[in-house]
Structure 1
């Protein structure tokens, strides 16, 4: 992410020096030289960022550039703010103090200038070492992957309108799965109290469960419905409360009453509701047998008309719940289904192009996705922004290069992890820190759009330089545009929507989050405190 860091530091320093020009006059020459050095470095950083996973020495070089850029920003802003605070002081006493400190301030100014020159020398030395690392300069029309600034802003404006309502997702390869499971769920005689959907991460288990949850026949058959996300660090009481609230459509008073119940009381109440009413409870993403053993205390262990549907990637969990469990193993998409999904996501329906030209390249790239819809959708998010066969060829070359490097820490998800990593590298510089910021949200959690955009602004991740010419957009407007772009790239999933269709909440898939945390760690962007996550 050195490209992003250097771009943001240059922008931050430029903005700060423009605002505080008269207070920085004493070091203006040193600041200008440092800025020029960083600007000369920018063209090489895209190649360096892409290669740091392959070469440890390049990774160290990138880290040094990133640290030097941060150091420059810190020195300039710290000095500027100190000078501003002194200039704002008023009164005779402070005037006398200022005269008494003129000599000391002059010495301090010299020290700051020397610090900036020292950082500039480091950057210059790093730039001089480029040849030894064989890092090449890459010149794009801009850092957003070839779009002009005007095209980018026009598309962002369209995104804001396009995502003002919930758009139905394209679903491929699940038709037979849905049909068979619906028949099982709506049988008059409930033979299976537990239905387990099992498969590896990214295979579409949650998507399948959602199709069942909203199916007309299922909605007609059951009287009570509840959907809860369990995740690796669930709190049992919170899960039980969430199920109860939904099954009885709890009022504010009822919710308060439930919250005041003891552990045993809430378990008995949930047991009784599921015993007396025909309910469908979906437990999405159960990771361990231990979690199930804690949760099942509140579920009926006698024959009832209620059904629990769970999704898991753990085969032992899928088989464990009850003796009358129905196990459904979800399979990867076949070659034709994979291509169909890629076309739906990557190529607009009205686009007048010869699919035959793209088919061979698309199928070659799909081999690395292993039939996992998540990987295919993320790959489509990259290709959707490439408007020529040459750009598709370049993506294929990058995918092939990633595979040959062996990037990816799990053999099972090796190719998939590399496709996800490529989707990160394909982000324009301004989106990378915004995406990495999402890693601090707990697994399977939904984050509010209104809060996230404010946090991005507060953290200094949003810049008015991305504002359309003549526009009155606020920083939060730009933040929403950038979030919409991450949605378009299939790295962020739409969650809750308002009554008017506007997006209120979003989430990221746990495999995407794993990649996000891996990149954030590599870039020293954030640290995750596990003890805090356990306090969710």
Structure 2
């Protein structure tokens, strides 16, 4: 978005051309144009004013062609600002190169900064012109901007209002949800109840609500009814007036001064109207919890069985309802989607698809991703087409273009575009960025937020780290239904998500329009403006090589599907000097060009799953590098040059040697350089090999949040845990011993403050470990605990349950400290997942009142387990039970005592 481009440009201006930081250089170098920082400051002020103007006009931009043309020019000048600030930073970097100063300083240096000064002056004039046009446009369109509210604009875009009829074929695949909604409206529950229906645009939230609303209205189950389309820019006074008018039994008693009543009087009037009434109110398309809270006090609860149905795209809004009354809509399954399509498309032929069109029809339906709105729309488009295979094949092949241009798909574009337009400003770049990745790509949260940060999309908030802020962005996109949840971790944090296919296509159309980035399309038409590029096939790679990487403004290069090669990498380094992101994971590379250090602007280097064995010495010149991903490479030791990268925040450098975890050291880390390793900003170090030197060096990394240490011997424990005690922000710790028989000693782990929530210990430990200070004082903070290869003499569960009482996830695998495990009453009241695996366990007893919130029980590879766990039936919250490789007698008892019936409440049982 243009506004986002302006924000990025402003950020670079501030950091690159700050007057105070530049004054020092000016005093040393009189050859440098003296007005350089002041010109930049003026540009900064003008861009700031443009930014505020863009914020003010909001979505009106999309309904005004002249204003939209002005936006195009703003975006281009913002990109020019980004280019010139990077050029400036590049020359500053060269200035610090000794050989540059010595050999060509006197020839090149004045010319370089003169060119920058001239370019800045030109940009300054362009921005002055844009600012003048802005003032002219504001006068010219003053009436339009004042009178056309965002909500009016959205009304034009959206057809989601209050539908007056719902066709029968619109509810294909919704039968179970409709029945559940009917039960929730049952009058047996007399308390006023809030019901929410939520999910992404186009899933049928309004359709379902309308169907139920019309049914109940026809049955006259309630005393009064009202349907309110709330939308994004709601007016509470107007909503209150509409409620009063629609819910009043006697219209003649509606006050004549209703249109002029103030808020307090309107609230009192609505309370009077609803007094002793059983009412049904639908609040359709609610975007903000405040809308409901501002109405809630007026919606009286006289214990008559009243119901309020909310439809929303936002999980926070949906959570206004109790969890038991939240309905999340999901895309239709393949069969339901095809049935809905046939009902729409083939009404003239008994809703049956002709055999010669079935394969094409299914392909088209699959591209709709289960969205009823899209399926209905494309069905309507095809219903008027001839039933000729050639016509349908053309529409199938041009589906992306049809989605963007076909008038019959306006409703689909509108429904999905509104979600994007009303995303908070800080999320729009993050969302567009996701569209660059291949269809059905699974986004790892940790990786994605690091990419957002190095792209400059994340701004500091208070005392939070950029990673914490970005984590909030990630959550917001899921809460707004813009991304689909794929997997949670063991303590409830989102691990991965994906983007709906149709959502991705529309996001790509915005991305192309905004010159944001390219993915999966030809470079010929936009190569001069390409700033971000993802390649996923060899044809694109060959095209890039043939063109000699003629992409002078490229900032981000991502290679998917293992398509990058050494020739391409060499061209990237030599021709794209402003690269900030270079992601080459799984590419067939066994070495890195020596001149990679020329990429002064590089902030992210991704070499995961490549075959490289070493990093070139020039890496020390990557002074802006923040993330270095070397996971699953052949690098065994970090070069000493890495210690010079003072902005590094994340180092990933581990290898999985034994996926089946048969040996203690199934992971390997890298060795740290023997020299100083004081990376004060480092937050992630995964994984390091413990040596006498490295455990000492760890004390110079006070900002670590995630640390994995392999090959720890007892003799080094005191030094290691002394270093760890200084890490006040440590959140996730993995400690692996160097042998099975020597216990780890946690006695020196005595932090003054810690945020430790996740702990993994591989190997045995002293029997008194969980009585050590770190667990006695801070054990209540730990939510995740994994213990493997633990050959302890005594049962540690009593001390763990006492010192670490708030565990959500507990895993004990490959241990041999007990043949019988008894979980006592009161133990682990917050535990959601218990995983016992590869133990010589004979018996598991669960006392009444133990693990009362357990949802997942995994009993894997327990060949000595002869009996079904005692007390298993008492786990009322259990949702999943998985038992594998148990003793044959276990299954005999299971079937004999009909345990499947006893555990009828458990949704998933695998035996």
TM-score (norm 2): 0.30
Whichever structure has more helix as a proportion of its residues is: 1
Whose RCO is larger (CA < 8 A, sep 6+)? 1
The higher radius of gyration belongs to 2
